Amino acid sequence: MTSAHDRLEAENTQALQRLADLTHDFDAMVAASRDTNADDEHDPEGATIAFERSQIEALVRQTERQLQEVAGARKRLDAGTYGTCVVCGSPIGDARLEARPAAEVCIRCAASSRLARR
Ligand SMILES: [Zn+2]
């Protein structure tokens, strides 16, 4: 049985590794686009590179957000409020915490905030 602390630790390590991989991919792509003459914006190759770059940037932002969530969850673990929804104060539930150790809201609040964002 894994403790919340260990799960958060694992999640943090994975996210940092992913961020390192993405940064590496990004650097490699920038270097590659410098080699191929990507100055021409009408070059279809250039458009593909721009698309891939925006995909990687989106993944980087997502991973950074995940790291922030993990940091927040660690703080709540220290404060003894881990596993409690920050919105309504209900227990988040073991199954959800198992799947998303850094979850800060219960499934009901997560669902309603997704609806609110539409
Ligand atoms: Zn809630």
Residue 34, pLDDT score: 77
Q: What pLDDT is stored for residue 51 in this prediction?
A: 87
- Ligand 1 centroid–CA 69 distance in Å is 16
What are the residues whose beta carbon lies below 5 Å from ligand 1 (ion)? Answer: 85, 87-88, 90, 106, 109
Amino acid at the residue 92:
I
Residue 85 · residue 92 · CB < 8 Å:
yes
The one-digit pLDDT tens for each residue of the chain (118 residues) are 579 999 999 999 999 999 999 999 989 888 887 776 555 556 667 778 888 889 999 999 999 999 999 999 999 999 999 999 999 999 999 999 999 999 999 999 999 987 765 5
Q: pTM of the entire structure?
A: 0.77
